[in-house]
Structure 1
Amino acid sequence: MAHGFSRARTAIVGAATFGVGGCANVSAVDMTAKAALLALADAGLELSDVDALYTSAPYEALGGLELAEYLGITPKVTDCNRTGGSAFEVYVQQAALALDAGLIDCALIAYGSNPQSHPPAGVGMTRQSPWEAPYRPLAPLSSYALAASRHMHLYGTTREQLAEVAVAARKWAQLNPEAAVREPLTIADVLNARMVSDPLTVRDCCLFNDGAAAVVMVRADRARDCAKRPVAVLGAAHTVTHREISSMPDLTVTGAAISGAQAFAQAACGPAEVDLVMVYDAFTITPILFLEDLGFCPKGEGGRFVQGGAVAPGGRLAMNTNGGGLSCVHPGMYGLFLLVECVRQLRGEAGDRQLQKADIALAHGNGGVLSSQATVLLGTTATI
């Protein structure tokens, strides 16, 4: 045990997506419920087995209650936190601890949103910062642009290197029939796209489309009897460093340096042993920051690390193999889709994009404006 977390005592046994790309005429809660039922069927379990429900309804403050009512279940534990896109990795940590303690027996983590088909009345951060509002930033885009500009200033990172992240994601998306955008994309396409918040163009920014996802977790002893090969939870950690970007201690160092180190200690492995890296790519700067902070390259080397197709198919590190939030799906919050792709790769269910070796996968969620960081390490039975 490390940092109070029991390695491989729990597992993900079901995973599914629904409505990725476009889901017109279906409400967000309908989408969430459909993904939940698909994930339970994937595990060979029933709704009656679920006694813990974790969700983050995008535009409903009481989303946990709404989904429980919709599904007709009475869970012992319900959570609907507000850490943004990192919420779902946080849920894995919380569910693993609750399962291991015997508080619950089966956890359902689910999310669905359709901002493309049903644009919300208000998009972006929930309130304007009294310190930042006078500068009229585009929230949250301008915050990430600040981080990108600072990284470029300190370390010589280039716009071409940022573009490498988007191009690699698109190449993975072209291998994924579920990905929403699969047209060819070049470095020049990214650089010449409409500038949104300098230095980020529209192609440096994630999609804003529909999608739902769900995963199911149980204890390891029960996981052996489920329908699919279980994926062990090897480690999970979370940290919060700030709320506003103006309060971020260092624009080029995220809390991933903390959550990643803790998760690796729990999992008893290091970056060199990870076969798949699924990192939140709301903007092209975020994977560069996370690769550094998680230990895949030194601080300041992220831009050079991704050059030359290094994180594209055939590169030295498999990253965001579903196409990521940049080319596959980003329905307001993306963190749960990271976990689903990890499960699919570790089970050997990823089709044309399947990795030849996939035993350990890392899912890293990001919330707010680089504010909340959560890291989960998953492994096949061979890693236990």
Structure 2
Amino acid sequence: MSSGSGFPRGRSAVVGAATFGVGKAPGFEAIELAARASLLALADAGLTPADVDAVFIAQPQDTLATLSFCEYMGIDARLTDNNRSGGSAFLLHLEHAALALDAGLCQVALIAYGSNQATASGALVQTSKPSAWETPYQPLRPITGYALATARHMHQYGTTRHQLAEVAVAARRWAQLNPEASAREPLDIATVLGARMVCDPLSVRDCCLVTDGAAAVVMVRADQAPDRHAHPVYLLAAAAAVTHGDIAAMPDLTLTGAALSGPRAFAQAGLQPADIDVLQLYDAFTINPILFLEDLGYCAKGEGGAFVEGGRIAPGGALPVNTSGGGLSYGHPGMFGLFTIVESVRQLRGECGARQVAGARLALAHGNGGILSSQATAIFGTAETL
């Protein structure tokens, strides 16, 4: 089926998906973590590294990651992509892989990522160059930019810290249902509000975790997918948008590029926001899901804070969001985009146990890169959605 948008709707599928080492993985280098996840994803599809002819990877510590990773894995790749747009990169890889598969440029595409930032340094890996315009003000990157967007949203629309805390608590409640999640201890609104302030108005509980971890997915053409997995997950749409680099150049601090990528993705898939059963939204900070829910069309601009109140996005709520626990409670190894893809796949396969969304047929994954700079939206479906 064609979407009429030029995107090959449903003509490629994820047939392997895996994570490895989420939380703390002492003794592993980043490339080893990515390799372990890749081997698991390939085994999930009944494949080996020798079957792979396209590699998509972005490693924070390695600007030539496609070269070193192909060497490490013993892959002779005819196509590689090392797009480095931050956490959104892997959803761009997803889009590029789908186009390449549909054009016959490759047969088996591997998308991988791994980071040992928690055990190597215990801090976020900084991958962007200092800004000539922002550095004189000594920002704490990236949180200062997100705090700025949060403060503006609060000022303009009356969003409260209590509403931000609802996002953190919902993520933790999902994480408590996920044995792989890094943070599973109870968390309530009062604890979030009373947590140490990092960059006003964001406290430490408004910030993503700092963990190790790796993820990988394997894609093939749709006509090959049933031979590779009993439950292929088909890519129905993938779209992206870049609006700025530095937060100082963001056109509107309350409006992200998701307002561009989201409508494009829904048009490609021939769907509306209400059709989606489960959402995985890049939650580096609690403001992110609020902004993305608005910009993807789940509520009007400025209403995101009220939208998440009352456990609406938590287990048992009307809209399942970040069912793994997200970057706030599952894990955040520097860049989280690929993990939104893996959780989408697992939900549509029905593999999520206690956190499984019953009858999930359509999933949306949304990645964020830079400081609200790069946005990418992907929509997945089961075979019955084709």
TM-score after normalising by structure 2: 0.98
Secondary structure of 1:188's counterpart equals helix
Contact 1:89–1:365 (Cα < 8 Å) also in 2:
yes
Instruction: For residue 121 of structure 1, report the CA deviation from its aligned partner.
Output: 8.9
Flag the 1:122–1:34 CA change in 2: closer, same or farther, 3 A.
closer
1:382 equivalent in alignment to 2:370: no
- Map of 1:128 onto structure 2: 130
Residue 268 of structure 1 is aligned with which of 252, 261, 270? 270
Provide Cα deviations, 1:344-383, integer angstroms capped at 9, x if missing partner: 0000000110111200000000000000000000000110
Instruction: For residue 45 of structure 1, report the CA deviation from its aligned partner.
Output: 1.4
Cα distance between partner residues in 1 of 2:124 and 2:358: 43
Q: Which amino acid aligns with 1:258?
A: L
Cα distance between partner residues in 1 of 2:262 and 2:124: 33
Secondary structure of 1:362's counterpart equals strand
RMSD of aligned Cα (Å): 1.0
Provide Cα deviations, 1:213-250, integer angstroms capped at 9, x if missing partner: 00000000000111331000000001110000010010
Provide Cα deviations, 1:252-284, integer angstroms capped at 9, x if missing partner: 000001111111000000100000010000000
Cα distance between partner residues in 2 of 1:60 and 1:20: 20
Q: Which amino acid aligns with 2:282?
A: Y
- Map of 1:95 onto structure 2: 97
Instruction: For residue 119 of structure 1, report the CA deviation from its aligned partner.
Output: 1.1
Cα distance between partner residues in 2 of 1:14 and 1:294: 27
Secondary structure of 1:318's counterpart equals coil
Structure 1 residues 259-338: aligned runs within 5 Å: 259-338=261-340
Provide Cα deviations, 1:4-58, integer angstroms capped at 9, x if missing partner: 2011000001000000101000111111001000001111112111100000112
Flag the 1:357–1:227 CA change in 2: closer, same or farther, 3 A.
closer
- Map of 1:348 onto structure 2: 350
Flag the 1:212–1:40 CA change in 2: closer, same or farther, 3 A.
same
- Map of 2:82 onto structure 1: 80
Q: Which amino acid aligns with 1:214?
A: A
Cα distance between partner residues in 2 of 1:284 and 1:8: 32
- Map of 2:115 onto structure 1: 113
Give the share of equivalent positions with the same residue, in percent.
63
Contact 1:114–1:209 (Cα < 8 Å) also in 2:
yes
Cα distance between partner residues in 2 of 1:91 and 1:61: 16
Contact 2:123–2:210 (Cα < 8 Å) also in 1:
no
Instruction: For residue 188 of structure 1, report the CA deviation from its aligned partner.
Output: 0.8
Contact 1:233–1:376 (Cα < 8 Å) also in 2:
yes
- Map of 1:219 onto structure 2: 221
Provide Cα deviations, 1:34-91, integer angstroms capped at 9, x if missing partner: 1000001111112111100000112011111110000011111111111000001001
Residue 162 of structure 2 is aligned with which of 157, 160, 163? 160
Q: Which amino acid aligns with 1:66?
A: S
Q: Which amino acid aligns with 2:287?
A: I
Residue 13 of structure 1 is aligned with which of 11, 15, 20? 15
Contact 1:220–1:232 (Cα < 8 Å) also in 2:
yes
Contact 2:182–2:331 (Cα < 8 Å) also in 1:
yes
Q: Which amino acid aligns with 2:156?
A: L
Contact 2:124–2:210 (Cα < 8 Å) also in 1:
no
Flag the 1:189–1:263 CA change in 2: closer, same or farther, 3 A.
same
Secondary structure of 1:117's counterpart equals helix
Cα distance between partner residues in 2 of 1:58 and 1:4: 32
Q: Which amino acid aligns with 1:347?
A: R
Secondary structure of 1:382's counterpart equals helix
Contact 1:236–1:377 (Cα < 8 Å) also in 2:
yes
> Unaligned 5+ residue runs, structure 2?
none
- Map of 2:241 onto structure 1: 239
Q: Which amino acid aligns with 2:327?
A: G
Secondary structure of 2:209's counterpart equals coil
Cα distance between partner residues in 2 of 1:353 and 1:186: 19
Contact 2:117–2:123 (Cα < 8 Å) also in 1:
no
Q: Which amino acid aligns with 1:108?
A: L
Q: Which amino acid aligns with 1:102?
A: G
Provide Cα deviations, 1:327-350, integer angstroms capped at 9, x if missing partner: 001000000000000000000000
Cα distance between partner residues in 1 of 2:123 and 2:238: 34
Bigger Cα displacement from structure 2, 224-233 vs 271-280: 224-233
Q: Which amino acid aligns with 2:268?
A: Q
Cα distance between partner residues in 1 of 2:256 and 2:246: 13
Cα distance between partner residues in 2 of 1:203 and 1:121: 16
1:176 equivalent in alignment to 2:213: no
Contact 2:78–2:106 (Cα < 8 Å) also in 1:
yes
Secondary structure of 1:319's counterpart equals coil
Contact 1:43–1:228 (Cα < 8 Å) also in 2:
no
- Map of 1:22 onto structure 2: 24
- Map of 2:67 onto structure 1: 65
Q: Which amino acid aligns with 2:217?
A: V
Cα distance between partner residues in 2 of 1:249 and 1:345: 35
Q: Which amino acid aligns with 1:245?
A: I
Cα distance between partner residues in 1 of 2:161 and 2:129: 30
Provide Cα deviations, 1:268-327, integer angstroms capped at 9, x if missing partner: 001000000100000000000000000011111100000010000000100000000000
Q: How many residues align?
A: 384
Residue 339 of structure 1 is aligned with which of 325, 338, 341? 341
